[in-house]
Amino acid sequence: MSRNPVAPGHAVQAHINLNSLRYNLDQVRQRAPKSRVLAVIKANAYGHGLIRVANALEGADAFAVARLEEAAQLRSAGIQKPIVLLEGVQDVQSLAMASSLSCQIVVHSEYQLDLLCLSPELKTPALKTPVDVWLKLDTGMHRLGLSPDSFPHVWQSLKENSAVAENIRLMTHLACADELNHPATNKQLALFREITNGIDAERSIANSAAILSWPDAYSEPNQAWVRPGVMLYGVSPFAGKTADEQGLKPVMTLSSSLIGVNLCKKGDAIGYGGIWECPEDMPVGIVAIGYGDGYPRHVDEGTPVLLNGKRVPIVGRVSMDMITVDLRNQPSAQVGDPVILWGEGLPVEEVAQHAGTIAYELLCQVTSRVAFVDSKIED
């Protein structure tokens, strides 16, 4: 990481390594060579920047987002790939908009069937061309998806609906794929197989955790699509298994710098609440990053940051704009020295663990005060 800020005037920067993003997509391809890739870029591409990521992932077969407004942003930016709306649509206006944006919709509840079955007068302005549908079965997550009981009749009525394009696809979502021995996953896979048995349609089951650990979720010939999210961003979905071990490279590196060094005395209390006291005379560093940038306030004492490429522990509370670090193992550190909060050299998963959360949340939480800097793509 360079010492000089690449975005001058911005204390905190998120470097987005687009080469690593593409590398991780290649890893998906290597694991699931027969599948097409529905790259999940919801929630601002897990905080990495929706349009930047969509442009860099031109090798994906299609994109998935949660919400219509995300799809609208993609289309406004000129992205022409197929887009799947994972939460589908909730009313006729949204259906019309989804159709005008050429989105494919997930049908996960019976009320959505009603939207597609409205009277022709209502339907005509809404749908000029039939809409592509992914029919979602709830195999045990009990979030979105049709129950196994209602699935057959919804499937039948979608097939007969002229507002629905011909090749309806089938999907389900796994609740526990990130736990390598969890019995729920095989149960979900078996139920999906049972309920969809005999239906001639493309299928999609696997999220990142399944791509990495449950080949049964994508290796059958009709399991045409995988849906990687977090692994594209170089993050391991498994507790206690690093991305590095999975052959993934971190995409976001969050960095800042040292803006102060205090020579504190034994017994000095550091920061709000004075919760940490210096056990001896020692240097304490001030780093320009805080929860106002999206750094988690609830990291525990000793959470590492990389100062000049070497770990130093956080002491005292995280404030809105600053954190304080123990400089006893880098007494010669100076104002301006570079600090990495997570990313290359320090996995975001590790910081998340110190914050009692998952990497997904930390990545999504980086705020608009942070300058996003793309690293160049070298082909």
Ligand X SMILES: *Cc1c(COP(=O)(O)O)cnc(C)c1O
**Site residues, ligand X (CB under 6 A):** 40, 42, 86, 173, 207-209, 227-230, 237
| DSSP single-letter state for residue 47 | T
Alpha carbon of residue 181 to chain centroid: 23
Contact (Cβ atoms closer than 8 angstroms) between residue 56 and residue 248? no
Residue with Cβ nearer ligand X (305 or 363): 363
- 29 contacts: CB under 8 Å, gap ≥ 6: 37, 59
CB of 102 to ligand X, least distance (A): 20
| Structure letter (DSSP) for residue 379 | -
Cβ–Cβ under 8 Å, residues 317 and 272: yes
Is 272 among the catalytic positions?
yes
- C-beta atoms surrounding 319 within 10 Å: 17
Q: Is the dihedral of CA 297, 301, 303, 309 positive or negative?
A: positive
C-beta closer to ligand X: residue 96 or 224:
224
Quick one: tokens of 341? 């909060």
Nearer residue to ligand X within complex by CB, 85 or 158: 85
**Side-chain-facing half-sphere of 137: CA atoms under 13 Å:** 25
- Report how far residue 15's alpha carbon sits from residue 200's, in angstroms, rounded to the nearest whole number: 44
Supply the minimum distance, in Å, between the C-beta of residue 339 and ligand X.
Answer: 28
User: What is d(CA 290, CA 215) in angstroms, rounded to the nearest whole number?
Assistant: 40
Of 34, 265, 272, 310, catalytic = 272
Active-site residue, from 42, 123, 136, 249:
42
Q: Is 371 helix (H, G, I), strand (E, B) or coil?
A: strand
Closest distance to ligand X from the beta carbon of 118 (Å): 26
What single-letter DSSP state applies at residue 113? Answer: H
CB 270 within 8 A of CB 324: yes
β-strand pairing of 62-65 with 83-85: parallel
291 flagged as catalytic: no
In the complex, least distance from residue 174 CB atom to ligand X, rounded to whole angstroms: 9
Q: How far is the CB of 171 from ligand X (least distance, A)?
A: 7
- Minimum CB distance to ligand X smaller for 40 or for 243: 40
- Measured from each CB, the residue nearest to ligand X is 229
The CB-of-5 to ligand X minimum distance in angstroms stands at 30
Rounded to a whole number of angstroms, the minimum distance from the CB of residue 127 to ligand X is 24
Contact 305, 314 (CB under 8 A): yes
Q: Phi and psi (nearest 5°) for 310?
A: -120, 145
Instruction: Assign residue 316 a region (left: φ > 0; alpha: ψ between -120 and 50; beta: otherwise).
Output: left
**Minimum CB distance to ligand X smaller for 182 or for 369:** 182
CB within 8 Å of 132: residues ≥ 6 apart? 82, 104, 105, 165, 167, 169
Q: Between residues 123 and 227, which has the closer beta carbon with respect to ligand X?
A: 227
Catalytic residue numbers, as ranges: 42, 272
